[in-house]
Amino acid sequence: MSEAPILKDTVRSNGREALQKNIQAAMALSEAIRSTLGPKGLDKLLIDDDGRTLVTNDGVTVLETAKVEHPVAKMMINASSTQDRIAKDGTTSTVILAGEMLQNAWRLILQGIHPSTIARGYRKSEQHLLECISEILLDSNDEIKQSVVKTSLAGKGHKSMQEIIANIALDAVEMVVEEDSTVDVSKIKLISQTGGRVEDSRVFRGLMIPKKRISSDMDKVIINGKILLVDGGLERKNVTTDLKLNVTSIGVLESFRQEERQMLFEQVDKMVGHGITVLACRESIDDDIKSYLTKVGIQAFRRVSKSDLNMLARVCGAKLISSIQSTSETDIGNCSSSENITIDGKDFWVVEGDGKAATIVAKGSTVDIIGEVERCFDDALGVSTQLIEDGLVVCGGGASYVALARRLRRYAETIPGREQLAIEAYADAIEVIVRVLAENAGIDPITTLLDVVAEQTNAKSDQIGINLTTGKPENMINLGILEPQGIIKQALVGATEVAISILRIDDVLWAKQDLEMPDLPEDEM
């Protein structure tokens, strides 16, 4: 039978050839970011189409910025992005783990083991590890929490920068944690400023907006105020060309303007009627109305961004309204304080309400540094959130992966048939983290792994990992190299998921690209 017409314009590769190509693509991607893993990992310089540069050590940033065409490589990048979304860290590890799982799978395939058998063995390994991870968990205290956040920043910036970012992130998360221990990170705002040192970064309770009240005659501080948020302005409309005014006598235009002005005053009176003391508008507020607002005791802010208004709405329990005329009591929010402050010569409006909020003012000397500082805060806040919500941690520096691999090998012995080989291959694969950490620190990877395994067995400890400074196995608790359990769990789940998906593909159909000649100007032809 001839090939179905639907496949006419496709290039097809199937069976082992397809699998080999896919595994090669996945491994190429994992090779590309391998050198960034861990505190001794190197940075990548990324240059985009417009020549903008970015220096980073963050796995997911490298992958998401790179222009990758291969669909299998894209699957790996998606796994890394999912890791970033769910666990905020461990993005490089996920890709390295998946790459190693596939490499080991390929070895088994060459020995004649079917990819489905390997996929089943990998799935069993993952399930077993998720059960036995509870055996290696540690409880956290304040000191441990700080170590965990610092570990998540390993390789990014210098030591004192890691310390300050870790402390600020933990404080910020404490400020917004709810009674049921949940944290909504979107309640933490990050304002970044170039100029100054990272060490000058600070966190404030409440929502800070880089704005000044529209008149310095207005009250600087309002306590227990009522706030109104307007998704528009308090201004006269510009007379547009398609508006027709029938001017029949002298002064009509003036009286029209007068009436418009009157309407603004009425809107202010309306606010006074509702007891409003703080006003924020997305658009402008007419200068004419400034002194009247001041007189009636309203502290007003104009051109507040929509995202800030939305945050204000959450913090103060207010609703964004489009017209002041139709304000109802339920639209109005409460702010326990609304204050104008100056930090290093810059004006800020600080609002606290019933809802929790915190603002981090991050500083860095150049645009590049501030970019990396922002990414560090992003990681640190994600990890701090997990710690506050869950509090259970595991040892880093490869210790947990070695401890889990040991358990997996014992489990493999109980599984009959070829799946046993797949489980052993999975155990070998997760030890890759120790090898790569060593490799990047210029230490022999194989000896390091063997030393760590031997030391864990001899000391009957799951906490021995690699000290990258001395190159010797050491207890990770003593070195403060700790991670939230969520990072390791999610890295294992994500890597297994993508590895199995790739192993299950045995047919690749590529739509043929339309290779059209680009239009060239006549004289170049």
**Binds ligand ADP (CB under 6 A): choice among 65, 74, 81, 155:** 155
- The answer to whether 15 and 90 have CB atoms below 8 angstroms apart is no
- Kindly identify the residues of this chain, within the stretch 18-77, that bind ligand ADP according to CB under 6 A: 36-39, 41, 59
The CA distances from residue 209 to 194, 284, 350, 486, in Å, are: 16, 16, 7, 33
Please, how many CA atoms are within 13 Å of residue 329, restricted to the half-sphere of its CB? 0
CB–CB of 279/299 below 8 Å? yes
- 267 with 325: CB under 8 angstroms? yes
**Residue 322 buriedness (CB in 10 A; 0-12 / 13-18 / 19+):** exposed
CA distance 192 to 368: 12
Give me the long-range contacts of 31-36 (CB less than 8 A, separation at least 24). Answer: 31/99, 32/62, 32/66, 33/59, 33/62, 33/63, 33/92, 33/95, 33/96, 34/96, 34/436, 34/439, 34/440, 35/440, 36/62, 36/92, 36/155, 36/440
**Closest residue to ligand ADP: CB criterion:** 396
Q: Which is nearer to ligand ADP, 31 or 287 (CB)?
A: 31
x-or-dash pattern for Mg ion, window 315-354, by CB under 5 A? Answer: ----------------------------------------
Mark the segment that binds Mg ion (CB under 5 A) among 8-16, 89-97, 355-363, 488-496: 89-97
Q: Is 82 in the site for ligand ADP (CB under 6 A)?
A: no
Enclosing H/E stretch for 278: strand 278-281
Nearest distance from residue 34's CB to Mg ion, in Å?
14
| Closest CB to ligand ADP among residues 39, 206 | 39
Which of 30, 75, 89, 377 is the binder for Mg ion (CB under 5 A)? 89
DSSP letter for 517, please: P
397 binding partner (options Mg ion, ligand ADP, none; Cβ < 5 to 8 Å by kind): ligand ADP
Nearer to Mg ion, 61 or 448 (CB): 61
Q: Which of Mg ion, ligand ADP, none lies near 113, with the C-beta cut-off 5 to 8 A by kind?
A: none
333 near ligand ADP (CB under 6 A): no
Whole-number minimum distance, CB 152 to Mg ion, in Å?
Answer: 5
Asked if 91 interacts with ligand ADP (CB under 6 A), we say yes
Count Cα atoms within 13 angstroms, Cβ side, for 145.
Answer: 22
* 468 touches ligand ADP (CB under 6 A): yes
Nearer to Mg ion, 89 or 352 (CB): 89
The answer to whether the beta carbons of residues 59 and 97 sit under 8 Å apart is no
Q: Which of 339, 424, 483, 497 binds ligand ADP (CB under 6 A)?
A: 483
Listing DSSP states for 309-364 in one string gives HHHHHHHHT--EES-GGG--GGG-EEEEEEEEEEETTEEEEEEEESS--EEEEEEE
Q: Does residue 397 interact with ligand ADP by CB under 6 A?
A: yes
Nearest approach, Cβ of 431 to ligand ADP (angstroms)?
Answer: 12
* Residues taking part in catalysis: 58, 91-92, 379
Residue 426-455 contact track with ligand ADP, rule CB under 6 A, x = bound: -------x---x------------------
Work out what residue 59 binds among ligand ADP, Mg ion, none; the CB cut-off runs from 5 to 8 Å by kind: ligand ADP
Residue 161 as a binder of ligand ADP (CB under 6 A): the answer is no
Bridging pattern class, strands 221-230 and 53-56? unpaired
Contacts of 69 (CB under 8 A, 6+ apart): none
Out of ligand ADP, Mg ion, none, which partner does residue 39 contact, by CB within 5 to 8 A per kind?
A: ligand ADP
CB of 201 to Mg ion, least distance (A): 20
Residues near ligand ADP (CB under 6 A) are 36-39, 41, 59, 89-93, 151, 154-155, 396-397, 433, 437, 466, 468, 481, 483
Residues near Mg ion (CB under 5 A) are 89
